[in-house]
With several copies, the nearest count.
Chain A
Amino acid sequence: MNCGVVVFPGSNCDHDVYHILKHVFGLETKWVWHKDRSLKGFDLVVLPGGFSYGDYLRAGAIARFSPIMDAVINYAEGGGRLLGICNGFQVLVESGLLPGALMRNRSQKFICKPVHLRLENHDTPFTLGTQSGAILKIPVAHAEGNYFADPETLKTMNEQGQIVFRYCNPEGTVSEESNPNGSSENIAGIANTRKNVLGMMPHPERCADPLWRDRDGQVIFKSLIKSYYS
């Protein structure tokens, strides 16, 4: 399985996800510079977290026009597996590969802390290693993670199983108190209708190294491997 990690100017979780893919899961992993124009031969492409272009103007807004993005869009439209984490998710919504928008957190502040997520759909290549309803503890670290979509879009997304993670409490209840940033319907991660593109605000790569006690993030990477080999 060949993985590519896209580096935008200002990406800073690029090394983290590279480390997990390459050293923890032993996958063939390569850097993709934002000025490159091809994604040939990759089975997974990751848009990592960070502050591409400083998140100036709006998070993800400028990165969306990097030279590599045409290839990213083609790759996604051709069914390639594309994972956007945090800033990567922001780039995905800015580029229109995923619906909605990510606005500033309700608290107006950057938030870095572990949160609980309820898996809403295990029928995607990113989550098939576990069951819908599973509760995962994964950290968030963002200032603009407040997911917004208009009611119609939300309705379609619900119907099509596009909502993959919601913020919940440790017992799995999705409530206002467990919503860290004000997202519509506690949405933490979504997929496109075809389920080959996933965007999520929490950082699975931050809890996937066996050196740590929290390892729930491994589910995502294990699922991707499983789906590739099946």
Chain B
Amino acid sequence: MVPFHPMLAKVHITLKNGVLDPQGKAIHSALNQLGFEGVSNVNLGKYLEITLDTMPEMEAKKKVREMCEKLLANTVIESYQITLVP
């Protein structure tokens, strides 16, 4: 028997190409104002850490993908990427 061993799903949600990122832009200009040079672009996204009970990796991936499609990302403007850390 495998001992109880939770799994961590890391989800990155970012704006799709072609969708203007006003927050990223605002941060970019704030960085410029603070005197940080050499920054050519800033994008802001969301980062979720979801702790799952033990389950097969395939199942976990499928489950988290479904969560993203349904709730976590707004697929009209956002795309997502899932990484599993056992």
Contact = CB atoms under 8 A, between A and B. Distances in A.
B22 A101 contact: no
Given A57-B44, A106-B22, A108-B23, 19 more contacts: A54-B26, A56-B22, A56-B44, A57-B23, A61-B74, A62-B27, A65-B34, A65-B70, A94-B74, A100-B76, A101-B76, A101-B77, A146-B22, A148-B19, A148-B20, A148-B76, A149-B76, A150-B18, A182-B20
Contacts of B34: 65
B26 A57 contact: yes
B20 A65 contact: no
A94 B73 CA distance: 10
A174 interface: no
Contacts of B18: 150
A104 B74 contact: no
B26 A62 contact: yes
B74 A62 contact: no
Q: Which 8 A-B pairs have the closest CB atoms?
A: A56-B26, A56-B23, A101-B76, A62-B30, A101-B77, A106-B22, A108-B26, A57-B27
A117 B74 CA distance: 28
A58 interface: yes
Contacts of A148: 19-20, 76-77
The bracket for how many chain B residues form the interface is: 10 to 19
A108 B20 CA distance: 13
B66 to A, nearest CB: 13
A61 B44 CA distance: 15
B72 interface: yes
A128 interface: no
A103 interface: yes
A82 B42 CA distance: 34
A219 B30 CA distance: 37
A206 to B, nearest CB: 26
A61 B46 CA distance: 14
A42 interface: no
A54 B71 contact: no
A49 to B, nearest CB: 19
B30 A103 contact: no
B41 interface: no
